[in-house]
Amino acid sequence: MLKIKEKYDAIIIGSGPSGCACAIRCAQLGLKTLCVDNLQHSQSKKLMPGIFTNAGCLEVVALLQSAILYDALIHDINLHGIYVENISLNLHQMIQRKNNILVQINQNIAKQFVNYRIDFINAKAKLLDSKIVEIASVIHASNKKIIAKHIILATESTPISIPCAPIDNEYILDSSAALNIKEIPKRLAILGTGVIGLELAGIWNRLGVETVLFDAQETFLGLSDHQISREAYKIFTEQGMELRLGTRVISAKVIHKKVLVEYQDSDGTHAIRVDKLIVASGRKPNSENLAAPEADLLLDENSYVHVNDNCRTNLPDVYAIGDLTMLGPMLAHKGMAEGSFVAEQIAGIQSSPINYNTIPNVIHTEPEIAWVGQTEQALKALGNAIKIGIFPLNINPKAKSANKTNGLVKVIACAKNDTILGVHIIGAHASELITEAVLAMEFSASSEDLARTIHSHPSFTETIRDASLAIKNQGLYIRS
């Protein structure tokens, strides 16, 4: 059993992406560090309770890769002159592969905790004041108070539940259970066409499941660049996803091992029967019971922890990072950056503040969607004079060779000084390509800087350069 020190330099409550990053960086900087988390993980008994970084994103990516491979064997492999017969799908083995990947990542993080002598407790933790955390063991019926010079809140978020679709995780699933379905459903409905809904739809649709998505919003992916949204709608519809926008689900009931989903649209009230319903209507911060009332931790009306630009709460020497705050999007890499940033503040290192304007956003679909900076519609609404370069992937030689021609790259620059204001991509490897745009924007590069940078040929990276060249009608393949 862990021998608990009475005093620590830093206590991190939560061991998700942001919490683990913060704990490791604190320890690297010589701080006595304790990490506390009460999470239990049912996917594998090999997982160390609590330490489970970036689980959702990694699960999606692991399953999507399997689904892409299966779909390619069914539909695309013959294009290469390769013929395969008797293709079958073992869903249990596919899920097990995904879980094994998570075990390896989990074990690596646990090894880092040992190497850096980070103490870890699988327990419930509650902030009592700016220096004291109460630890309630999930194994032993005992509580203990621990003192720390600094406390970092990093309890991340959980899926939102809605009254019209009560989750039982057998027929009506949350987004976590949707990654561990035991049998391939024939027909699947998803409530929500945001990031989570689309990522889940991309997996099951490619495994041959009839997939229907509902969303009350009339606009598809309204926060992303509208040209990218339109392209995504077209591509996903062609892939077989049924996107029902402007529809409001009013009830979901399990009847005879099927889910009866009632919804309303402009034509009235309708109902469909599906094998499974996934609720993917967003996430909420895990701030409930995080602090005792007398601690006076300030939360906003949506239960996010209030922080300043340095991730400091209203309590001295108490920080909040990751999905707990409204700073930046709910993304694992955002939280990990905040974890390192806070650790360096505590250690007295003067590091640059996080630039939330250059955090890349990624949707792990096929093709992927990624962007950084501002959208065309937002810039025009502000009255900014801009210039735009667009390059479709169906012209790129590498994309043609790989049969990955769906999508485009869009570069937006300031009309006055050519500074890059935003880059938006839908296409193969978008999550990798966007990093070049992030780096360019961090250094206030211009579209001409990107255009003059020599990219390898043939490659997908050329699309960034070609979109930049298109701003001045200097493209080698097309004219804007």
**Residue 256 φ/ψ region, left for φ over 0, alpha for ψ in the -120 to 50 degree band, beta for the rest:** left
Instruction: Single out the catalytic residue among 75, 92, 270, 457.
Output: 457
DSSP string, 342-357: HHHHHTT---PPP-GG
In order of 2, 162, 177, 361, the CA distances from 195 in angstroms are 39, 18, 16, 10
Whole-number Å distance between alpha carbons of 307 and 326: 8
First to last CA, the chain: 66
CB 297 within 8 A of CB 289: no
Task: Confirm whether 306 is a catalytic residue.
Answer: no
* Peptide bond just before 458 cis, omega within 30 deg: yes
Question: Distance between CA atoms of 450 and 415, rounded to whole angstroms?
Answer: 16
Pull the structure tokens for residue 112.
């880092």
What does each C-alpha distance from 89 to 77, 84, 181, 304, 307 come to in angstroms? 16, 14, 14, 42, 48
CB 152 within 8 A of CB 13: yes
DSSP output for 250-317: EEEEEETTEEEEEEEETTEEEEEEESEEEE-S-EEE--TTSB-GGG---B-TTSPBP--TTSB-SSTT
Q: 3-state DSSP call for residue 213?
A: strand
DSSP 173-184: E-TTGGGS-SS-
What does the alpha-carbon distance between residue 102 and residue 44 come to, in Å, rounded to a whole number? 9
Under DSSP, the state recorded for 323 is G
Cα Rg, the chain, nearest whole Å: 24
Residues catalogued as catalytic: 457
